[in-house]
Amino acid sequence: MARVRPAVLLSTVIAWGLAVVWALPFIGLVMVSLRPYSEVLIKGWWSIGGAHFTLENFKDAWSNPMYSVERGYINSLIVTIPSTIAPILIAALAAYAFSRFSFPLKNYLFITLLVIMSMPQQMSVIPLFFMLKELHLLDRLAGLILVHSSWGLAWITFFLKNFFDSLPREMEEAARVDGAGELQIFLRIVLPASLPALASVAAIQFTWVWSDFFYALMFLISPENYVVTLQVGTMKGQYHLDWGLLSAGSIFAMLVPLLLYAGLQKYYVRGMIGWTAKG
């Protein structure tokens, strides 16, 4: 029998302990969402003996006209997809310029970027509110897309600039000698070679926008415009709180980012192996 060193055993036990503590609220959430609320209320979600499992909560959460998650999903997708793609495209161009070219005021512009990044969202909300109102984009998904996209620009530019700085210049020089112009180099060499970085940025920005509650709460007013995070909020009735329903709604809301991460994780690994050329 292989002997296990006490230090290894101890650290394994601690790691598992932490993992369980970490996952416990989520496990609770899943249990509550899968069982009739009355049963959870009486027995507690942790008692598994004689438990009944049902998808009622999910069905109700998805399609109840009062707080349909379906509607919220559609709105969330309408907001999140452009708010992920648009800033990445624009920021990639800006980041490439910051990384490779010299132009007047470059350093000041970059510092401005850092300052914007360090600003809390709450500070910008009132000016943004009036701005959107002036533009007649208040209570419109387009307005929220605009806000999220611009908010994403700063950190994505910063992130991608750092990544572009780390790409070997010779790769672009080889393309230049091979006859590629600036735009071709960017589109056919730099962007594809940056796919792992772009995937990380996309995952983070997507999750951020999808999970946003604050901006959505401030800038969306009519319930038919609610994104899924706001929709889940409305499930909490004024006098009655159905935890089963709320749990199902929450799981719906976090499902998309979770799936995205699961899907992209494989991709990161593949990207890292296939991309890095040995020198």
Partner 1 sequence: MAVVELRNIVKRFGRVTAVDGVSLRIGDGEFYILLGPSGCGKTTTLRIIAGLEYPDEGKVLIDGVDVTNTEPKDRDVAMVFQNYALYPHMTVYDNIAFPLMIRRKKLGLTRSEIRERVMEVAKMLRIEDLLSRKPGQLSGGQQQRVALARALVRRPKVWLMDEPLSNLDALLRGSRRS
* Among residues 117, 175, 202, 217, the one that binds partner 1 under rule CB under 8 A: 175
Q: How far apart are alpha carbons 108 and 111 in whole angstroms?
A: 5
**In the window 153-172, what residues touch partner 1 (CB under 8 A)?**
168, 170-171
Q: Does 276 help bind partner 1 (rule: CB under 8 A)?
A: yes
Give least dist CB 194 to partner 1, A.
Answer: 9
Q: Does 277 help bind partner 1 (rule: CB under 8 A)?
A: yes
Q: Does 195 help bind partner 1 (rule: CB under 8 A)?
A: yes
* Among residues 13, 15, 174, 259, the one that binds partner 1 under rule CB under 8 A: 174
**In the window 18-37, what residues touch partner 1 (CB under 8 A)?**
none
Instruction: Count CB-CB contacts under 10 A for residue 268.
Output: 16
Q: Would you state the structure tokens that stand for residue 246, as one six-digit string?
A: 């709320």
* Contact indicator for 179, 110 with CB cutoff of 8 Å: no
* Contact indicator for 171, 193 with CB cutoff of 8 Å: yes
Q: Does 104 help bind partner 1 (rule: CB under 8 A)?
A: no
Give least dist CB 168 to partner 1, A.
Answer: 7
Question: What is the size of the binding site for partner 1 (CB under 8 A)?
Answer: 25
* Contact indicator for 253, 228 with CB cutoff of 8 Å: yes
* Among residues 176, 199, 208, 217, the one that binds partner 1 under rule CB under 8 A: 176
* Among residues 21, 123, 177, 183, the one that binds partner 1 under rule CB under 8 A: 177
The 222-251 contact track toward partner 1, x by CB under 8 A, reads ------------------------------
Output the CA–CA distances (angstroms, integers) from residue 120 to 44, 123, 230, in the order listed: 39, 6, 21
Instruction: Kindly tell me which of 52 and 278 has the beta carbon lying closer to partner 1.
Output: 278
Q: Does 192 help bind partner 1 (rule: CB under 8 A)?
A: yes
Give least dist CB 172 to partner 1, A.
Answer: 9
Instruction: Kindly tell me which of 249 and 271 has the beta carbon lying closer to partner 1.
Output: 271
Q: Does 94 help bind partner 1 (rule: CB under 8 A)?
A: no
Q: Does 214 help bind partner 1 (rule: CB under 8 A)?
A: no
Give the range of 106-114, 178-186, 217-225, 246-254 binding partner 1 by CB under 8 A.
Answer: 178-186
Backbone phi, then psi, for 127, in 5-degree steps?
Answer: -55, -40
Give least dist CB 185 to partner 1, A.
Answer: 10
By CB atoms closer than 10 A (0-12, 13-18, 19+), residue 226 is buried
Binding site for partner 1 (CB under 8 A): 168, 170-171, 173-181, 184, 188-189, 192-193, 195, 273-279
